[in-house]
Amino acid sequence: MKKTTRTLSLITALLFTALFGLIGFSVVDAAFEMGGELAKFWPVLPLVKLTVEFLPFNIIQRLPGHLYAEATAIVFAKDIEENIYPANEFYKQSTDDTPFIESEGNGSVVRKGVAGAKPSVSIDRSSLPATISKRTDDSDDYSIAEFTTDPSLIQVTEDLILRYDKRMSLLQNHIDTINTKVADYLANKWLPDGASNIVRSSGTATRTASAPSAAGTRKRVIKDDVIKVAEIMNRMDAPANGRFMLIPAEFLSDMLSIDDFVHADKLGSRSNLVEGSIGRILGFDVFMRSSTGVYDNTATPVKKALGASGAATDNLAALFWYRGWVNRAEGNAKVFLDEDKPEYYGSIMSAMVRAGGKIRKDKKGVVALVEAA
């Protein structure tokens, strides 16, 4: 009896999902017929996306051509969104401004108000009436960058919708490429300029320069350099809990010569490490990736833009930051699918993700440790 009841419940649930899924697609189909765009019919979208996840493929396959393509794009976008951000855990250690993203023209922008200066406090005030001050609030807007992949030719779209492993095999290249670009972009946005936010390495000049186009040797990072960074963060009144560093792969050999990092287990500082970090030193959780950022070799090093031409005197940098004083915003993934192109004997797919980030206007909470020659 119980088995029969469970079976009937399952059948009822499937029929319910199929019925309301087809209703949802019918509404969107009518919108297309009237010349509308799917994005404008937001009340239907959650139902459509839910339906795509649970409907049997033979039902999705019978949808009208434009809705079938839309269903395919929804499935692909969901896979990308689930895999795009987790691979670079370092930039999750920041203030999330995603809820403040607004559309503007053909792009997006983050709009946030910032409280003005705090009132002064007097002890045993002797002069009355007190001076009245008016707080002037400020805006802290920043633009969201658009990351797009080159189109790929795909075939047998039906099998791609039905089988997650085949979809991921195709999408992984797009995911990896966008992931790397977003991480590069945010690290570059967070790296500061200005003498008060930069420390130069001071170890022995025995490490081969490895910034793109760089030549010669560079001074290694030593414990005293990290101490100087910590002192700057202390003067900024950055809270001790929530400090991080992001080092390029080349700095790892330097870190391994610092006892406090190598023997962190003995010091009890490896407990409660955040996901993705490789260790902790002087209160900073350490993340590592293949590249972090590049500075020139002027008296006060200047950060180089992503993709800028390299120079023989360029230097790698490590980024130090306090989690609460850097910001990120992550937009939704969108997949573009042009189905059944006769000249290509297949379908064309590309992906787009929007993301952005910033530091405080006063540059508090971020320090760069830049190589010295």
Q: Is residue 38 part of a domain?
A: yes
45 and 159 assigned to the same domain: no
Average pLDDT, whole number, for the chain? Answer: 77
Q: Is residue 130 part of a domain?
A: no
Distance of alpha carbon 244 from alpha carbon 226, whole angstroms: 11
Q: Show contacts of 172-178: CB within 8 Å, 24+ apart.
A: 172/83, 174/80, 174/149, 174/350, 174/351, 175/80, 175/83, 175/84, 175/87, 176/87, 177/149, 178/80, 178/84, 178/147, 178/149, 178/351, 178/353
Rounded to 10 deg, the angle between the 2-33 and 45-54 helix axes is 130
Residue 165 maps to which CATH number? 3.90.1690
Q: Is residue 228 part of a domain?
A: yes
Range of the domain at 64: 1-85
Q: Is residue 123 part of a domain?
A: no
Q: Is 192 left (phi over 0), alpha (psi -120 to 50) or beta?
A: beta
Give the containing element (helix H, strand E) for 239: none
> What is the pLDDT, as a whole number, of residue 168?
63
179 and 301 assigned to the same domain: yes
78 and 95 assigned to the same domain: no
Q: Give pLDDT tens digits for 244-275.
A: 999 998 898 888 888 777 665 554 455 555 66
- How do 113-114 and 138-139 pair as beta strands? antiparallel
Both tokens of 242, joined, read: 């929530």
297 and 207 assigned to the same domain: yes
21 and 163 assigned to the same domain: no
Total Cβ atoms within 10 A of residue 249 = 13
355 and 266 assigned to the same domain: yes
- Which DSSP letter does residue 195 get? G
Question: Which range, 64-68, 295-299, 342-346, has the best average confidence (pLDDT)?
Answer: 295-299
Q: Is residue 121 part of a domain?
A: no
Q: pLDDT at residue 5 above 60? A: no
> What is the pLDDT, as a whole number, of residue 25?
44
13 and 58 assigned to the same domain: yes
Q: Give pLDDT tens digits for 161-207.
A: 555 566 666 677 777 788 888 999 999 999 999 999 999 999 999 99
SS3 190: helix
> What is the pLDDT, as a whole number, of residue 89?
78
> What is the pLDDT, as a whole number, of residue 119?
81
**DSSP code per residue over 36-97:** --GGG-TTTHHHHHHHHHHS-HHHHTTS-HHHHHHHHHHHHHHHHHHHHSTT-GGGGSSEE-
**In 212-254, where do the E strands start and end?**
217-218, 243-248
104 and 187 assigned to the same domain: yes
Total Cβ atoms within 10 A of residue 208 = 10
149 and 57 assigned to the same domain: no
- Band of residue 295 on the pLDDT scale cut at 50, 70, 90: very high
- How do 284-289 and 243-248 pair as beta strands? parallel
Nearest CA to 331 out of 161, 97, 152, 116 is that of: 97
173 and 78 assigned to the same domain: no
96 and 32 assigned to the same domain: no
Task: Determine contact, residues 98/111, Cβ cutoff 8 Å.
Answer: no
pTM: predicted TM-score of the whole model, two decimal places: 0.70
> What is the pLDDT, as a whole number, of residue 297?
96
Tell me which of 74-83, 226-235, 341-350 is least confident. 74-83
Q: Is residue 135 part of a domain?
A: no
Q: Is residue 232 part of a domain?
A: yes
Q: pLDDT at residue 8 above 80? A: no
> What is the pLDDT, as a whole number, of residue 235?
97
> What is the pLDDT, as a whole number, of residue 69?
56
315 and 367 assigned to the same domain: yes
Q: Is residue 267 part of a domain?
A: yes
Burial track 86-102 (b if 16+ CB lie within 10 A, e otherwise): eebebbebbeebeebbe
Distance of alpha carbon 254 from alpha carbon 224, whole angstroms: 12
Tell me how many domains the chain contains: 2
More confidently predicted of 277 and 79: 277
Q: Give pLDDT tens digits for 27-53.
A: 444 443 444 444 443 344 444 444 444
The domain boundary residue, chosen from 68, 85, 102: 85
Both tokens of 169, joined, read: 């095999």
